[in-house]
Amino acid sequence: MDDADVIIFNTCCVRENAEDRLFGKLGEAKKFKEDKGTIIAIGGCMMQEKQITDKIKRSYPYVDIIFGTHTLENLAKDIYFALKEKKKIEDVIDIEGEIHEGTPIVRGDNIKASVAIMNGCNNFCTYCIVPYVRGRERSRKPGDIINEVEELAKKGYKEIMLLGQNVNSYLVSEREKDNNISYEVIVQGKEMIVNSFATLLKAIDEIEGIERIRFISPHPKDFTDDVIEAIANSKHICHLIHLPLQSGSTNVLKRMNRKYSKEQYLKLVDRIRRLMPDSTFTTDIIVGFPGETEEDFEDTLDVVKKVKFEQIFMFIYSIRVGTPAEKMEDQVPEEIKHKRFDRLKALAEKQIAEKNETYVGTTQKVLVEGYSKTNEKILTGRNEANVIVNFKGDKSLIGKMCDVKIIGNHIWYLEGCCDKIQE
């Protein structure tokens, strides 16, 4: 912030602690505004919440630009007017707008890239603010997505992460409006039809140069067999599946409006494992949802024990203003939430350590991302299950897929040695 002429905060409103951080940082930024007139801009989902923009205007009047999630393409113009004409700018529009194509993207590296395939969410899980700030589901056109991935492949990118709040609803809302919706696309000179998430995956799988395809997040209730088959029959789609559980208790799941039960979730995992015995899973879990009893929490631990996740993203439930769960009366006391969180964390860490031990002695395909942050002589990358693998090797291996023999388990990463580059 010291050096900046313009400070831009990109915000997230999914959980309370991310929100709190913005206000702390805004306090820090005030000094720069006062000392040298730094332009301060805030964007992202929080700006789609009226009570937040009201608070900023009231309590942080030195903020110059507020921009929403649907006006990103105007940012350069907004900054220009703030700089040149010293104008206060509020550029937030209705969340139901069309997806804007063609906004230039600067990406952090040249090996892995994220590509949005859809925006919004129709699910209204009772704890979640996303449907209120991102609007209803709408999908990008298959041709636009495929062009973007082909361009990335040409630039040498090797791994693509497809993004959406509920990726397996890709084109579902569009199909509700037009039952026959279907797009012809040309991939590597071959004509293909895309009319669903499964067919989109198949098309992207054909793009030459892309070695790994991942996607987040699918909703368990919409994980159809055609998607499982598309992954199983693909050349490049990772067999690591992020499958948000949220809770292992059927009771809690019902009150979360998740539309699946504990048993249905476990059956889905079985179904995927039957077709792909090498599949692995990561998940999201919320601890301390209103009304969660000790018994409910034990159901969550039970699912964790049964599935043996590769990684668990754990969250303590936080109230989101305007969601149905905000009004639920039986909020769980903070102390109990934290104790349960610690128990889940301990179980997850034990399982992950045991799991990592099973990699020792195996050979893993590792996409090399660069040098390790802590040791400049050690290369770092990830295997298909997204576990970090560090090994000694030459700079020329960066960006390549290598066969790495795993010789050690260090809990947060695996140690390997590289035999050869994969052809």
Residues engaged in binding ligand 5AD (CB under 6 A): 14-15, 127-128, 244, 246, 284, 286, 315, 317-318, 320
Residue 219 binds ligand SF4 (CB under 6 A): yes
According to DSSP, the residues that pair with 282 across neighbouring strands are 242, 311
Among 42, 82, 130, 404, binds ligand SF4 (CB under 6 A): 130
Q: Which is nearer to ligand SF4, 265 or 391 (CB)?
A: 265
Kindly give the interhelix angle for 294-307 and 334-359, rounded to the nearest 10 degrees.
10
Q: Which is nearer to ligand SF4, 38 or 165 (CB)?
A: 165
| Least distance (Å) between residue 371 CB and ligand SF4 | 35
The stretch near ligand SF4 (CB under 6 A) out of 51-59, 85-93, 124-132, 406-414 is: 124-132
**Cα dist from 44 to 76, 133, 230, whole Å:** 15, 9, 33
By a kind-dependent CB cut-off of 5 to 8 A, residue 123 interacts, out of ligand 5AD, ligand SF4, none, with ligand SF4
CB-CB contact of 5 with 79 (8 Å) = no
| Least distance (Å) between residue 12 CB and ligand SF4 | 12
Residue 230 binds ligand SF4 (CB under 6 A): no
CA–CA gap between residue 80 and residue 78 (Å, rounded):
5
For 272-283, the three-class secondary structure string (H helix, E strand, C coil) is HHHHCCCCEEEE
Instruction: Look at phi and psi of residue 171 and say left if phi exceeds 0, alpha if psi is from -120 to 50, else beta.
Output: left
| Least distance (Å) between residue 360 CB and ligand SF4 | 36
Residue 320 binds ligand SF4 (CB under 6 A): no
CA–CA gap between residue 403 and residue 414 (Å, rounded):
14
Q: Residue 72 gets which letter from DSSP?
A: G
* CA proximity to 285, closest of 254, 318, 225, 244: 244
Among 41, 52, 65, 125, binds ligand SF4 (CB under 6 A): 125
Q: What are phi and psi of 160, to 5 degrees?
A: -120, 130
Residue 121 binds ligand SF4 (CB under 6 A): yes
| Least distance (Å) between residue 238 CB and ligand 5AD | 19
By a kind-dependent CB cut-off of 5 to 8 A, residue 315 interacts, out of ligand 5AD, ligand SF4, none, with ligand 5AD
Residue 166 binds ligand SF4 (CB under 6 A): yes
By a kind-dependent CB cut-off of 5 to 8 A, residue 124 interacts, out of ligand SF4, ligand 5AD, none, with ligand SF4
Q: Which is nearer to ligand 5AD, 320 or 382 (CB)?
A: 320
CA dihedral angle for residue 398, residue 402, residue 407, residue 410, rounded to 10 degrees = 50
How crowded is residue 124: how many other Cβ atoms within 10 Å of its Cβ?
12
Q: Which amino acid is at 186?
A: I
Residue 331 binds ligand SF4 (CB under 6 A): no
Q: Which is nearer to ligand 5AD, 341 or 359 (CB)?
A: 341
| Least distance (Å) between residue 356 CB and ligand 5AD | 23
CA–CA gap between residue 163 and residue 218 (Å, rounded):
9
**Where does 151-227 show beta strands of DSSP type E?**
159-163, 183-187, 190-194, 212-216
Q: Which is nearer to ligand SF4, 121 or 252 (CB)?
A: 121
Angle at 274 between CA 268 and CA 279, to 5 degrees: 80
Residue 202 binds ligand SF4 (CB under 6 A): no
Among 44, 131, 142, 416, binds ligand SF4 (CB under 6 A): 131
Contact set with ligand SF4 (CB under 6 A): 121, 123-125, 128, 130-131, 165-166, 219
